[in-house]
Amino acid sequence: MKPVILDVDTGLDDACALLLAARHPELDLKAVTCAGGNVGLDDVVRNTLTVLDAAGRPDVPVARGAAVPLLQPVRMARHVHGADGLGDIDWPRSTRTTDRRHAVELLRDVLREAAATGELITLIPLAPLTNIALLLRTYPDAAAGLREIVFMGGAARIGNATASAEFNIWTDPEAAAIVLTAAGELGVPTTMYGLDVFYDVVVTLEQARGLSGSPSAELARKLIEKRSSLYQSDGASIGDGGAVCAVIDPSGLTTQPFPVRIELSGSWSRGRTIVDTRDWSADLTSDPHGLSPTKVQVATAVDGKRYAELWLATVS
């Protein structure tokens, strides 16, 4: 089994990711940490516990993390995820409590243990990268417990929160810059599952209507129905869930190693992931910036049908 930790801002599509990670037989979900993002931290935590209850995984420790970005004011996406972040669907909310540790401490402890046992962990951040930046700067030794980071965020070509920037990176650009820099310095292999592939793993309403017979399947159906109605479409992307698919089945994702930087200023481009797709063997001496020292495996294509089937088979 592959040990994983999810860092989430649950969120309808984080919920799709949690159901998959909690139920897939080849994943060992060690912990889930929460950050403010799509909605406020209290809603994120309650939604996360609710989804894990539905998945039949009350054993997975869940910790509260950063409520707000490192520097800029909080921004949310209730217009995409509903007032409560879980689409305001009719579903019993969890009454379970969280781990007593802060998210950064839970991450530190689980990763140090992984480093000690050699069972290295794949970290899957699906939220603004605030918790992960704090972790890597406060406890850099914990990175020894990481096999890799596969994060949802950014894009080579498009934005969603703005014309330039993707929501998770735009919400906390400083954190994203810290994480990419620290991952480069600490030698942690990093994959960016960005908007270039995010929308391509689609579950149709017809497929979703076949989901029944367990709380997990029922919740999964409601999530797809809600996302479909929000987008006025006859199906919906599982969003963050695709990043978990990429960890389970990496050969369904095409990636290329590119130097990546985060835009921290810019009138119109703050929060953009600047993916350097140039021919680096050419003469770059006139470029005052040079190459970013951090190379990231950037997702450029995905087998959406295969990942959608993987998700459907697992959540039901």
Which residues sit at the interface with ligand BDR, rule CB under 6 A? 11, 13-14, 38, 77, 80, 126, 152, 160, 166-168, 239-240
Q: CA angle 202-298-267, nearest 5°?
A: 95
**Which listed option, ligand BDR, Ca ion, none, makes contact with residue 91 (CB within 5 to 8 Å by class)?**
none
- Our CB check for ligand BDR shows the closer of 160 and 300 to be 160
Query: Which of 3, 6, 11, 31 is in the footprint of Ca ion by CB under 5 A?
Result: 11
* Angle, helix 41-54 to helix 215-230, in steps of 10 degrees: 130
CA-nearest of 176, 165, 164 to 136 is 176
Give the range of 80-88, 127-135, 136-144, 226-234 binding Ca ion by CB under 5 A.
127-135
CB of 183 to ligand BDR, least distance (A): 18
- Our CB check for Ca ion shows the closer of 127 and 312 to be 127
Residue 150 CA to residue 171 CA, distance in Å, equals 18
DSSP bridge pairs for 202: 237
Q: Does 87 bind Ca ion (CB under 5 A)?
A: no
Q: Does 14 bind Ca ion (CB under 5 A)?
A: yes
CB of 228 to Ca ion, least distance (A): 18
Q: Does 126 bind Ca ion (CB under 5 A)?
A: yes
**Which listed option, Ca ion, ligand BDR, none, makes contact with residue 160 (CB within 5 to 8 Å by class)?**
ligand BDR
**DSSP string for 254-291:** EEEEEEEEE----TTTTT-EEE--S-TTS--TT-SS--
Residue 260 CA to residue 296 CA, distance in Å, equals 6
Residues that bind Ca ion (CB under 5 A): 9, 11, 14, 126-127, 240
